[in-house]
Every structure is written in structure tokens, then in C-alpha cells.
Amino acid sequence: MELPILLLCIFCWFFIKPLILNSKSSRKLPPGPTGFPIIGSLLELGSKPNRSLAELAKIHGPLMTLKLGSITTVIASSPETAKEILQKHAKIFSARTVFNAAASQPNPEATIAWVPPDNMWRNKRRICNTQMLTNQRLDSLQELRHQMAETTSSRTIFSIDLVDPESEKGAQEFNDLVRRIMEDSGKPNLSDSSAKVARFARSEASYKASVFKDLIIGGSDTSAITTEWAMSELLRKPNELNKVRQEIIQQIGIERPVKESDMDKLPFLRAVVKETLRLHPADPLLFTTQSPKQRRSVGLHRAQGHSSLVNAWAIGRNPKYWVRPPECLKDLSNLVWIIKLPKGMAPENLDMEEEFGVTLRKAIPLVAIPSME
């Protein structure tokens, strides 16, 4: 007799109680899909959450609510709702979600990227903004940045030139390391969707990972991904690629590399970069975090513990704001005029599938051939 009663209590705790709580809190939140008990709407995200959330936004509106496990998440998929969260109510939503895969580092407080915005984090940001990122300091370091870009900063960090043909093995090992870190950090983690599981799900991680994420991956991975997407878009559209080539030849010539100071002379190239960032944002989902107090914003009443995120990928492809949103409408620098597709590959056959992670990279890496033609 005790066993059926025990099973009934467990069923009520895990299935009935969440439904009752959800029905009460849902009156204060935007509409959204009805999730399953315990797991919520996790199954609806699939392998490409940015695309899945964009499709759900077409049904439930630009501001919707999803239950991701036990975590209630408000999702913005339009410029208006994103502006409310990221600009108008920036102080309310300023605290970021720190995933358990990142917080489980032995010394996470040593990083800037993976800690909550407390006083220590603000002091680190203040040092960066006043000592490293001022206009005067950036201008004075322009030539140094140009030199570092030519070697991808690898010689400075590792005493190895990762773009040197003789260091091919080291370059491949570094690229594989970056890919693994970004893939593992972006994989769905049960502890991120359940506060009860999080306390038991801490895993060992190397202190070096936090250093790589801050110094290397934060810049090199996103820059490489954006460059790869831009090259892929241009190779799919030979006419636009030729326009950019001609612009570089006419304005800069072929005797020297393109520099930062040349960008004002290259409107087509700037347009390519902007369109690439619109179509293929390196960070497709912009996470904020729980609000410590009840707040009213964009017509909703956010209760304690609710997370929010902005679907930047969906905003960049919304037909309400863009003409033919999936297309790169405008016609990189030193690579633009010396690349071509492998022999026998047509531009329309170039694979443009995405692989979701912390950053949004190409599922199949681009293969292009240097050419002096």
C-alpha cells in the first residue's frame, strides 16, 4: 500500500505541481509553447536552437516564453523587444547567465567572460576600458595590430607562428582545441536547465581553458568564423566577389596589404562585412540572466528567477525589416582577390549549413584555393 502512495506523491510532485505553478506564473508572461513536465520545451530546440526559436516566434510573437527544464526564459526576436532588454532596461537585464560548464572551472573568478557582473568584474572591465580600449591607445597600436593580424597573434602567445607552413601540425592542433572548447561549451547541459541538477553536475576543468577563452577564443574564433562566412557568401556570388576585387585593386592596388586606415575607401567591402554579421552572427543567441526583483518591461511582469535571451539570428533574417533577408544584398580584404573554389565546384553547390555552439560556425569548413589570377 505504501508503494502506490509513494509513487502517487512522486507523480504529483514532478508533474502536477509544475503545471499548477506554470499556470499561475504564465498570466504575467508573454505567450509561448506548452512544454512537457520537467523538460519543458527543450525538445523543440533541436540541434539548431537559433532556427527553432525563430520558427516559434512566427507562431507566438516576437516576445515569447519558453520553459527550458525548470528555467523560465523570455525570448526577444525583434529589434523593438531587443532594444527594450538591451538598451532601455539595460540595468535590469545587465547580469549575464553563466553556464555551469564555464562556472565549473577551478578558478572561474580569474576570467572576465564567465563571471557574473559583480564589483570584481566591473573593476576588470574598467581597467580594460581605460587602459586598453581608449581611442588614443587603439590608434597608437594600429600598426602593431596590423602586424599581429598577419601572424594571427600566435607567435606572441605560443612562440609559434600558426600560419607558418612549417608549423602545420601546431596550427591544426590549436584549431582543433578551439573547436572542441566552443563545441563543448555550447552543448546542451542538463544542469543549465535544472537548478536541482546543477549542484551535482560540477565537472573538472583546466585553468588554462579560462585563459584561452579570454585571450584567444574570444577574438580569434569569432573573427575566423565571420571571415569564413564572408568568403563563403562571396564565393557563392561571383559577380559580387568581382566587384569587391575591383574596388580593392582600384583603391588600394595589389602591391601592399589592406590596412585599417583603408576601410573608408572600401564601401563595398564594408557592406560585405555588415551583411555577413547580419546573416551569420558569430553569437546568435545573446543571453541575459535572472532578474533579482520583479520588474515590468515591454509589457510583461518578470518574476524572480526568469532568464531572457535575444535571438540575434532571427532579427537579422526577419522579412519585416529586411528585403529578401536570406540573401547577401551588397556587392575580406587581403583574401578577397586571391581566392576561388576548387575545380569542378559550382558556387551554388557551396554548403552553407550551420553548426550551433557558443559561436555559429559553418558545419562543413570552407575549402578555397589561393589564386593569383
DSSP 28-44: GS------BTTTBTGGG
Pairing mode of beta strands 71-76, 307-311: parallel
18: confidence class by pLDDT, cuts 50, 70, 90: low
Is residue 45 within 8 A of residue 52, CB to CB? The reply is: yes
Does 108 or 235 have the greater pLDDT score? 235
Query: Could you tell me where the beta strands, DSSP code E, fall in the chain?
Result: 63-68, 71-76, 285-287, 295-297, 300-302, 307-311, 339-340, 354-355, 361-362, 369-370
Distance separating alpha carbons of residues 192 and 198, to the nearest angstrom: 7
At residue 365, does pLDDT exceed 50? yes
Nine cell digits for residue 13: 510532485
- pLDDT-above-90 percentage for the chain: 6
- pLDDT-above-70 percentage for the chain: 55
Query: Of 30-39, 170-179, 251-260, where does mean pLDDT reach its minimum?
Result: 170-179
pLDDT at residue 282, as a whole number: 87
Q: Of the ranges 88-92, 140-144, 180-184, which is most confident? A: 140-144
CA 99, chain centre distance (Å)? 14
Name the residue ranges covered by the structural domains of the chain: 2-370
**From residue 56, how far is each of 31, 190, 306, 309 by CA, in Å?**
11, 22, 19, 14
**pLDDT tens-place string over residues 270-298:** 888 888 999 999 888 887 665 544 445 54
At residue 332, does pLDDT exceed 50? no
Distance separating alpha carbons of residues 46 and 123, to the nearest angstrom: 38
303: confidence class by pLDDT, cuts 50, 70, 90: very low
At residue 330, does pLDDT exceed 60? no
The residues with which 310 forms a beta bridge, in sequence order, are 76, 286
Q: What's the average model confidence in pLDDT over 169-183?
A: 61
At residue 221, does pLDDT exceed 60? yes
For 252-255, the CB contacts below 8 A with 24+ separation are: 254/337
Radius of gyration of the chain (CA): 23
At residue 146, does pLDDT exceed 90? no
pLDDT at residue 30, as a whole number: 84
pLDDT at residue 312, as a whole number: 92
**From residue 97, how far is each of 93, 124, 172, 286 by CA, in Å?**
10, 18, 32, 10
CA dihedral 89, 95, 96, 101 (to 10 degrees): -160
Distance separating alpha carbons of residues 63 and 313, to the nearest angstrom: 15
pLDDT at residue 77, as a whole number: 92
At residue 44, does pLDDT exceed 80? yes
At residue 9, does pLDDT exceed 70? no
Residues with Cβ within 8 Å of residue 196, at least 6 apart in sequence: 70
Does 328 or 304 have the greater pLDDT score? 328
207: confidence class by pLDDT, cuts 50, 70, 90: very low
The answer regarding whether domain 2-370 maps to CATH 1.10.630.10 reads yes
Residues written for the chain: 373
| SS3 letters across 102-117 | HHCCCCHHHCCCCCCC
196: confidence class by pLDDT, cuts 50, 70, 90: very low
At residue 72, does pLDDT exceed 50? yes
At residue 241, does pLDDT exceed 50? yes
Does 307 or 192 have the greater pLDDT score? 307
